[in-house]
Amino acid sequence: MLELASLPAPVVPPTRAAIHFVVPGNPVGKGRPRVATRGRFAQLYTPEKTASYESLVKLAGHRAMEGRVLVLDAVHVDLDICVPIPASWSQRKRDQALAGNVRPTTKPDIDNVEKAIFDGLNGITWKDDVQVVSVNKRKRYSATPGVEVCIRSL
């Protein structure tokens, strides 16, 4: 009879804990750069709404890192984009939206929210967003707007 103590311990790869956090508030899509001209010179700048949202993303990402070092591997990201239900909707339509029977087909665009989140996390959770090789994302209505972000190292 074989004793358990004589068996070698199974080799288990070290687990890499996921980085999970929520960016509170209404999701904001990445805005196009704006141009300001001063005489013969033109200067590009990021719209204020985009810059302030990316700052909020940086803050949420920094808190979630809890002193960890930047992820340098390829990563998978899950995004759950929760947009507010319009206040003008009837209770019946609001209930349908919360149940997932009505989907948001209005701004912000899902890919622009992704760009704003990824750019905001550069240098905070990962070195650069080129490390993202896989993404699952969805946009839905919620009573509490925000973006739930989960980052897993591959």
pLDDT in tens, 18-41: 999 999 999 999 888 788 888 888
The more confidently predicted of residues 14 and 51 is 51
Q: How far apart are CA 62 and CA 116, in angstroms?
A: 16
Q: How many degrees, rounded to 5, is the angle at CA 136 between CA 140 and CA 52? A: 65
Q: How far apart are CA 16 and CA 69, in angstroms?
A: 12
Instruction: Say how many C-beta atoms besides its own lie within 10 A of residue 72's C-beta.
Output: 11
pLDDT at 54 over 50: yes
Give me the pLDDT at residue 74, please: 96
Give me the pLDDT at residue 131, please: 97
pTM of the model: 0.83
Give me the pLDDT at residue 91, please: 97
Beta pairing class for 75-84 and 41-45: unpaired
Q: Strand pairing partners for 78?
A: 136, 150
Q: How far apart are CA 64 and CA 60, in angstroms?
A: 6
Question: Which of these, 116, 104, 120, lies nearest to 62 by C-alpha position?
Answer: 120
